[in-house]
Amino acid sequence: MKALCPGSFDPVTMGHLDIIKRSSRLFETVLVGVASNTSKNALFGPDERVEMLRESVADLPNVEVRLISGLLAEFAAKENIGAVVKGLRFASDFDYELQMAQMNHRLNADLETILLPTAAKWAFVSSTLVREIAILGGDISAFVPPLVVERTRQRVAERRAGR
């Protein structure tokens, strides 16, 4: 079965990679779907996020990274995806993810959602916090892959310089 790990991944964190790697052991093929919609607070554009993710999962032969847009349920139907895998950091994540799972199943009856608890060592990490730490000059190297550390430093420096 093919699974989908969707997200914005702005930037990809070690918590994201943990869920993707664990999914790659559970499913024949895992498609990491990078949401193309960007918020005004986005640090990286969609293509940059795809590129960083591809580099970060290069050692996982059954994982593919793609940009997705539109309804997740429709994308999954087009790609013959049978499961969506989402990570849960806290109990409060469950309410939102359950609602999304039920809506996606209503839109695509062949689509199941698998909720994986995030490894405890990554439960407090979020892309939002990583961005904030980086923008304020903190060290993010414990929370993201090395290539993301460098690109984030560069992007923050560019923004400070007004580029």
Residues serving a catalytic function are: 16, 40, 89, 127
Residue 17 to residue 127: CA distance in whole angstroms: 12
- CB-CB contact of 101 with 113 (8 Å): yes
Q: How far apart are CA 14 and CA 80, in angstroms?
A: 28
Residue 162, token pair as written in the block: 């007004």
Report the DSSP beta bridge partners of residue 88.
117
